[in-house]
Structure 1
């Protein structure tokens, strides 16, 4: 599980209240569509209300969940090399920013960073985290953006005197996309970051037992995180999901190199939402997330198809995780 993703196209909202209302309408629409279709599937971006973001932060601390601590170790070990790639007065654009923990490793190593633009769908969570970061880095311009970063992204103009604009997309959130969606997102990022670069965290193919443990933790936090999507629908949309009538299911699909996460109905049941009702059969599932895993070569090929020029790659000793420097095309180049 990672920060939210889906592919779409819309303008970036400036007003957090408008953005929140828009997300609620989209959630209701997309959930109704998911219930009406078979197989049922909904975007993982709806995991991330305030409660979902808190649960995700807890997941990142679990002993079974290796991605966060492994990526942090890579960023810590190679922060100076990465900062050298970024150059002085860089502007950092973080997609799906969450709690803004990993970016501190970059900010501490950078030469006079000019501005930080964290983008996240959970406005309340983002505002709190951005406020803390601003207090800790008073000389840095922090400009949070409440938005679905997979939509058509309209970013503020670069600050006068700013250096390179670098996208930061940690956590292997790129794995939530299908391969075609990943190329589409990367192509959009290549255009947004023209003349700059993207620093991308990517989870690697590995022993399925390690993956199974990471998404089925002993404390049941991941299960609670998954089920919170239904709880959120009840809270925000007046839906009638009985949470105890669903169970969390996560497994590794080796041929497709991806974790699949589902909510499975324990019995035949009826669910109401927005004046409509749907029947769910026993064993029927609502698919909530894919988490694709990559080889280093496979990711570099994907990035090249989207218009990036692959650069340095940093990994841990066990090759569990990787961080990629991807050079964006210059103005006038074809992305």
Structure 2
């Protein structure tokens, strides 16, 4: 049986739960379909030290549980399902999930974006314990230490420059002999005395203390010769970009060249009236929990206003 709601929210995490809280308080009877990873990326993040309101380090899964509990408390309906197809060409919009079907007068997309990884076994073992994909999220833990950045595009260079304000030394390893990043960013990187660049170098392994769960060194390989060496580092940042979860909306919404949902300036409105996007799925630049929550709030308010206008 198809479930109907005035507002359907696809995906959880800070954006989804915040949208659900605001939509429920606006009496919009929202239904939130949590997706395959309830709580989003923060559900697999350990220490969170930059979310406002907490003087002490908190745990990502705990924060997501608190947001979920608040959404339920104010009356949002939460469903453990994953949407596999959408019909947003006409209202009511229809969403097809593994467990059921849903319809809504407005839809808020909060499906997020996933960091790209190299696929190394050790990378998974130490993820969150010395291996990260976000310097602005985790860089604070490496004050006055040595870190390795992996990548050669804008993301890698921007994150490396950010880490020069925190770490004692920043080493950038790139598989090629030139960077893909913008020339202005490259100039800043080359001019920074804290930065060392390893050309034609690939990360092939990670050494760490399995008991203390901390990284000790990176195993690097020369791309041309295959020769490997050990490099002592305190942390490793895999900065090779993110992939937004927008496969469901290809050909149905206006997407950027990199696959992010485009929204109207200053709003969360997409190219389809009544469909809104919040969080990392539309934010290629910041990708922070607090900004995701902020756009979740915006999406709920935008949806409320649009529903009022469309009913007039």
Q: Under a length normalisation based on structure 2, what TM-score does the superposition of the two structures give?
A: 0.31
Q: Under a length normalisation based on structure 1, what TM-score does the superposition of the two structures give?
A: 0.29
Structure showing the higher strand proportion among its residues: 2
Structure exhibiting the larger radius of gyration computed from Cα positions: 2
